[in-house]
Amino acid sequence: MENKNSQNASGQQRTNNTNNNQRTSGAGTGTRISRTGERSVPKSKTYTPRPNTRRSTGSHGSHSQSAGASPNTNNPRPGKGPRNSSGKGKRNNGGGGRSRAGTTRSRNSSRTHRAIQKLKTSAEYSQETDVQQQRIIDAIPPLGADDIRVVPVCGVEGIGANMTFVEFQGEIIIIDAGFGFSTPDTPGIDYTIPNTTYLQSRKDDIKALVITHGHLDHVGGIPYLIEDLGFPPIYTREFGAVFIQKKLEEYPHLKDKVDIRVIDETAKYTDITDNLKVRFFGLTHSIPDSTGVIIQTPYGGILSTGDVRVENDNGKVHQDEIDQYAFLKDENILLMTCDSTGIPKGGWSISENVVVDTLDTIMKDADGRVFIGAFSSQVERLMEFMVSAKKYNKKIAFEGRSIKSNMGIAQQLELTNFDHMIPIGDIDNYKPNEVVVLLTGAQGEEFAALNRIATGTHKSIKFQNSDTIVLSASVVPGNDYAVAQLKNNLYKGSYNVITYSDNTVHASGHGTREELKWIHTQVPYKFFMPVHGEQYMTRMHAAMARRELGVSQENIVVPDNGSIIEIRNRGAELVKLGQKIPAPITVVDGSYVGPLHKVLMDDRKALHQDGMFVIVVSLDVKKGKLKKSPDIISRGFVYLRESKDMLNKVRNVAKRTVETYMKNRKHADFDEIKDILAERVTKELIQQSHKEPLVIPVVLGV
């Protein structure tokens, strides 16, 4: 990125020589940040462990079971109250506390809730998983003295949650600790993070966590993982350091324990241990201080590009790019791991300079206000927008938490001029053609600034007909529907809307095919391993290396999450072991951090599709008869007021089922009754409605 800034016509410049200790030490939040070489000693402060981790609280039930509602009210989520405050993932107590006319009998609801609480929970489920994982770890063969092990823990079977580690002679260095977001397979979860079970068992051997750049898919997992990893020192460039430190402010129990060491660009190699040293090198991505990393062993280096693109004009690579890779010709690189995210796109991407120039012209020509929706992660571009605004004597304001936060870091590090920044509340004090607003929500995110303004629900900003609205972003796969809705709302007005499909207002931070190919030619590696991306992307990347660059098949390895890759015999041979480290992803799901339970996800999908149906029977055990007609509580299944006939049929089925069971029996096995009841009721509901809600039977003995 250093190059990109220096080559831009806009004059935005930054050299690392201007970095100084004051910037980082001035942050003053308690997290220690030290310059390279200062080995700060962890403070021996007492520390309250994070509540609730590694403990399953979720449902283990099939449709015929229900788990106890979690009694757990601890909330390690950062900041500020329960998740529902964001409006996301609203939850209620399975209907137990609410009543809806014609369906819920409120006098039964608290009883039902208590009954559900009593049902068995699924604690044993995650214990089983732990035992299985330990068995997997025990089966991994020891590493030979002349061998290097490289393990992509996560980030090669889907975008996000990147983490790789390198091991040599009993010492481990981890590269990145990111998180990923929920997918249709993981409804309702907050983040996915790498599975660190293996690394936890090797905690004492972990010597460093090295960060390539401050994007969440590379650092977002730190608050959830750093304690489990034994608080290894974090080596990072400056922007990443401040980004991590800001994140940790939301986790007061961690911030005093985390040791962040800023690596200066001018530092060649930093010794981590006697055998392992680390070198950062500048490359181009989309956030300041993006770097590649070399972990050097006595037998050669492991190079990780992190996320990367190549500045070019129609395929002519900029001289600055050539310069920043030039040192590599003198390096002994055994293995290159390289970003695969951009591989599906052929050719070269447009230069970021083109995007900046396009926006510069839009700002120059605008008669009214300019609103630019952008990825908050593209900090370098946002800084260029600031330069353009300044050039045309416009004021600039930020709206949206993540943009404010990232630009706050840029301001703290004095990366560009912030003199013309104004609070968002002041934009009405200026003429329309003097105002530029950078805001979040170009992906149509429901609660982001852009969407709120577009739908008229923003507290202070309303679009005016003279406004220009630019979506300086592509559509991330999966967000198509949300972006279409956003555009529907934007185009309803008479504003001048400019998107990715109209003009060159966006370029990706991930190199396309030809850019990646060029990187391959700059790194004199022996072995190649594609990382970062969906599985088809890493495979495409491997195929490109083989077919188009002539890398031999035995020198390429395509990993899965947890694959154990070894470079054996002092760098001579590349081997992929049959074993893997435990790799199923870990999830952050409200206050829960632990394994992903498929059965819980299946329940959520079922609830999402067909809703839930609770049937409560009060059984007179002595007489073997129901005390009264069964009660029904349902949510999201059918519109109950229009379904009274069906409900009566189901009540009759339930009554008949239980009373038939009780005939000729002296004792009632409630678990058995519930199973039979669930099966019969489910069958009846499918027959009547052609839908299959999640059925929860509750049997009360009276």
Binding footprint of Zn ion on the chain (CB under 5 A): 215, 307
What letter represents residue 310's amino acid?
A: V
d(Cα 75, Cα 593) in Å, to the nearest integer? 11
Min CB(290)–Zn ion separation in Å: 7
d(Cα 155, Cα 531) in Å, to the nearest integer? 7
Residue 157 DSSP code = S
- CA 655, 650, 62, 638 dihedral sign is negative
3-class DSSP state of 360: helix
* Cβ-based neighbours of 455, under 8 Å, separated by 6 or more: 489
d(Cα 596, Cα 586) in Å, to the nearest integer? 6
Place of tokens 């207002």: 505
Give, in degrees to the nearest 5, the angle at Cα 553 between 548 and 558.
95
- CA 193, 194, 198, 201 dihedral sign is negative
Place of tokens 């679009």: 463
The C-alpha torsion from 521 through 526 and 529 to 531, rounded to 10°, is: -50
Min CB(235)–Zn ion separation in Å: 17
Min CB(310)–Zn ion separation in Å: 15
Min CB(307)–Zn ion separation in Å: 4
Token pair belonging to 53 = 């981790």
d(Cα 561, Cα 196) in Å, to the nearest integer? 12
* Cβ-based neighbours of 475, under 8 Å, separated by 6 or more: 443, 483, 500
Helix/strand/coil percentages in the chain, nearest 5 = 35, 20, 45
What letter represents residue 347's amino acid?
A: G
Question: For residue 272, how many C-alpha atoms fall within 13 Å in the half-sphere facing its CB?
Answer: 30
What letter represents residue 309's amino acid?
A: R
**CB closer to Zn ion out of 14 and 215:** 215
**CB closer to Zn ion out of 155 and 444:** 155
Min CB(131)–Zn ion separation in Å: 36
Q: Is 510 one of the catalytic residues?
A: yes
d(Cα 552, Cα 564) in Å, to the nearest integer? 20
Min CB(511)–Zn ion separation in Å: 12
Sequential DSSP letters for 538-587: HHHHHHHHHHHH---GGGB--PPTTEEEEEETTTTEEEEEEEE---SPEE
Return the closest-CA partner of residue 436 out of 499, 474, 391. Answer: 391
**CB closer to Zn ion out of 211 and 615:** 211
Min CB(215)–Zn ion separation in Å: 3
**CB closer to Zn ion out of 215 and 513:** 215
**CB closer to Zn ion out of 215 and 506:** 215
CB atoms within 10 A of CB 76: 17
| 622: exposed, middle or buried (Cβ count in 10 Å: 0-12, 13-18, 19+) | exposed
What letter represents residue 625's amino acid?
A: K
> Out of 63, 213, 318, 510, which one is annotated catalytic?
510
**CB closer to Zn ion out of 159 and 673:** 159
Min CB(564)–Zn ion separation in Å: 26
Q: Are 394 and 436 in contact (CB under 8 A)?
A: yes
Place of tokens 């009554």: 655
* Cβ-based neighbours of 46, under 8 Å, separated by 6 or more: none
**CB closer to Zn ion out of 215 and 279:** 215
Min CB(341)–Zn ion separation in Å: 9
Main-chain phi, psi angles of 583, to 5 degrees: -120, -10
Return the closest-CA partner of residue 689 out of 615, 629, 633, 636. Answer: 636
End-to-end, the C-alpha distance of the chain in Å comes to 72
d(Cα 687, Cα 699) in Å, to the nearest integer? 23
**CB closer to Zn ion out of 154 and 699:** 154
Q: Is 602 one of the catalytic residues?
A: no
> Out of 259, 339, 360, 467, which one is annotated catalytic?
339
**CB closer to Zn ion out of 56 and 284:** 284
* Cβ-based neighbours of 556, under 8 Å, separated by 6 or more: 527, 528, 529, 542, 545, 546
**CB closer to Zn ion out of 287 and 600:** 287
d(Cα 197, Cα 192) in Å, to the nearest integer? 14
Token pair belonging to 108 = 């039964």
d(Cα 69, Cα 58) in Å, to the nearest integer? 8
Active-site residue list: 339, 510
